[in-house]
Amino acid sequence: MSAARWGDVATYAALALLGAFFALPFAWLISLALRTPAEVYRGAARFIPESPTLDNFATILSDPAFLIYLWNGLKLSASGGALAVALAIPAAYAASRIDFRGRQAVLVGLLAVQMISPLVILLPLYRWMNTLGLLNQHISVIAVYGALGMPLAVWLLKVAFDAIPVELEEAAAIDGASRPRILARITLPLARSGIASAFILAMVMNWSQFLIPFILLERDADWPISVAIFNFAGSVSASTTQLLAAACLIAVLPAVVIFILLQRMIVSALISGAVKG
Amino acid sequence: MTTTVERAPNDGHPAPWLAPAVLVLAVFYAVPVLDVARLAFSDATLIEPATGFSTQALRAILGNPALPQVLGTTVLFVAVNVLALQVAGLAIALLIVRGERRELPGMAAFRTLVLAAWVVPGIANGLIWQILFDEAPYGTLNSLLGYAGLGPVAWLSDPQMALVSAVIANLWQGTAFSMIVFYAARRGIDPTLYEVADLDGAGPVRTFRSITLPLMRRAIAVNTVLVSVQTLNTFDSILALTGGGPGRATEVLSLFTFNTVFYNLDLAGGSVLALMLFALGMALTLLIGWLNRGEARA
């Protein structure tokens, strides 16, 4: 066998080891979620349950509150993601198409604010929202999601706009179209895969958010799934681990599935962003 | 910056375009940070407004006997994670690039697996690993170790082990970010360099040390800062995994801040801690600028 073939074997051996580490939590979660309560106590001996059951999922999903948590999670993440992209489009367009002094400063500033922990800005925001009577309103969470998602969205959209030949816009400008019209009619449609990547990425990050809804929403019925499972975990005992596993899987699955389906698009957007940044 | 008489494609006033973004930066970032600074020097609680200037909160926090331990834990947690995340991320990126070059099947699937862990919400990450670290004989890792005749390990009840466990959970979720950055950087290296090295008979170790590592230096430097700040700001997975315990063994600065404000309702004290978080994050960010400057001159 050649050295390269041995190298392939070593590559697979290393990836198998790393793969076991990354796959174990998912595999174990699925295994637990399919077990009966008695089998939970059998540990690794029942990695493949003898009598797999969907009862745990049925128990979780038959709870109307759980469906509301999922719906809240979807609503908050999607609205927050859409707001982030909407706020980012004009700035990204300017950064891509208009030569102005301080352009680099704006882009660096956007990168810098991403280093600020949401915890820092949430302290004053909590008080302001309280004063404005916006606590316990989804709109407050959506607004913060929009602000948190905007900087990355500007970067991703700038890269997407950069990739569109400026000649297309010049042709339209000669025909007398105004800039906003050019943006709406030519640039945005051509940049749709970049826009979609920015939106999905913002949405997935919002789905993971815990701190903001946990602090700004006090009523159980307003919570998204990320807050609800934290609360649910506080109430389970060893005899209901299988239910917690099923609840975690349901909470994790939407983000993972969307990401896997669209990962080619998102990862290439991230990679081009990483190269430019 | 030159504007010709004819309508240049790049002209136009940026102000109206930038207004929404700048407004958001001001309202949601700049003013809140200033307000946190103001609150830090006040006597405000979460419910009561500030009544005047005071350095009492600052003195109370700096005199808090828990602070040295929290800062120590934070530095250790961030340093170990930054090292581990990047070694794992670099190893995976290089393995995948090698696999793709040799056209080995399964590379995309492996990358997907690592990325899947990345999009798991932090809270769920903490809960999942809490299940895996369950110290009962039927707990995941302990029952697996039992097969190998090892253990049981006190994953979460032993203070030192709990910190290791928190690092493992963070590694599982966070590696993907470094993997993407390093994958992009490695793909950006001119392949002819490797062909030349191969012709010269350089082995894999030599090639890694003389080509890959030097040419990825900037990516590694920038990524180090990004990952440090991300780790510094992480607390939801630790909150769900250990709640900061046992004792304060896994209570990092961000979790300490969270507890101070939202459990002890000490807004002024929490603002002092939040300022520390902010200062640390900004110091690390300035480091990026400095590193990039060095690169521009080189």
Q: Enumerate domains of chain A plus CATH numbers.
A: 62-228+248-276 (1.10.3720.10)
Q: Are B101 and B195 in contact (CB under 8 A)?
A: no
Six-digit token string for A190: 């051509």
pLDDT in tens, A102-121: 888 888 888 888 888 888 89
Which has the higher per-residue pLDDT, A20 or B150?
A: A20
pLDDT at B18: 86
User: Which parts of chain B register pLDDT below 70?
Assistant: 1-12, 45-48, 50, 288-289, 291-298
pLDDT at B165: 94
Q: Domain boundaries in chain B?
A: 66-297
pLDDT in tens, A145-187: 999 999 999 988 998 888 888 888 888 888 888 888 888 888 8
**Domain B66-297 in this protein, CATH class:** mainly alpha
Residue A117 with chain B: CB contacts under 8 Å: 232-233, 254, 274, 277-278, 281
How many whole angstroms separate alpha carbon B256 and alpha carbon A38? 38
pLDDT at A59: 85
pLDDT at B1: 42
pLDDT at B7: 42
Residue from A56, A99, A115 whose CB has the most chain B CBs within 10 Å, to mutate: A115
Instruction: Give the minimum alpha-carbon distance from A147 to chain B in angstroms, rounded to a whole number.
Output: 6
pLDDT in tens, A32-73: 888 887 777 777 767 777 778 888 888 888 888 889 999 999
- Asked if B271 is an interface residue toward chain A (Cβ–Cβ < 8 A), one would say yes
Query: Cα separations (Å) of A74 from A67, A82, A222, B8, B202?
Result: 11, 12, 12, 44, 53
Instruction: Give the minimum alpha-carbon distance from A134 to chain B in angstroms, rounded to a whole number.
Output: 15
Q: What are phi and psi of B42, to 5 degrees?
A: -140, 180
Residue from B1, B11, B24 whose CB has the most chain A CBs within 10 Å, to mutate: B24
Is a pLDDT exceeding 60 seen at residue A97? yes
Q: Are A71 and A61 in contact (CB under 8 A)?
A: no
Q: What pLDDT band is residue A78 in, cutting at 50, 70 and 90?
A: very high
pLDDT at B296: 46
In this complex, do B124 and A226 lie within 8 Å of one another by their Cβ atoms? yes
Instruction: Give the minimum alpha-carbon distance from B65 to chain A in angstroms, rounded to a whole number.
Output: 23
ipTM for the predicted complex comes to 0.87
Among B28, B113, B121, beta carbon nearest to A121: B28
Q: What are phi and psi of A137, to 5 degrees?
A: -120, 135
pLDDT at B85: 95
Dihedral sign of CA atoms A57, A58, A62, A63 in order: negative
pLDDT at A138: 92
Among B1, B129, B270, beta carbon nearest to A25: B129
In this complex, do A116 and B29 lie within 8 Å of one another by their Cβ atoms? yes
Torsion of CA B19, B25, B28, B30, to 10 degrees: -130
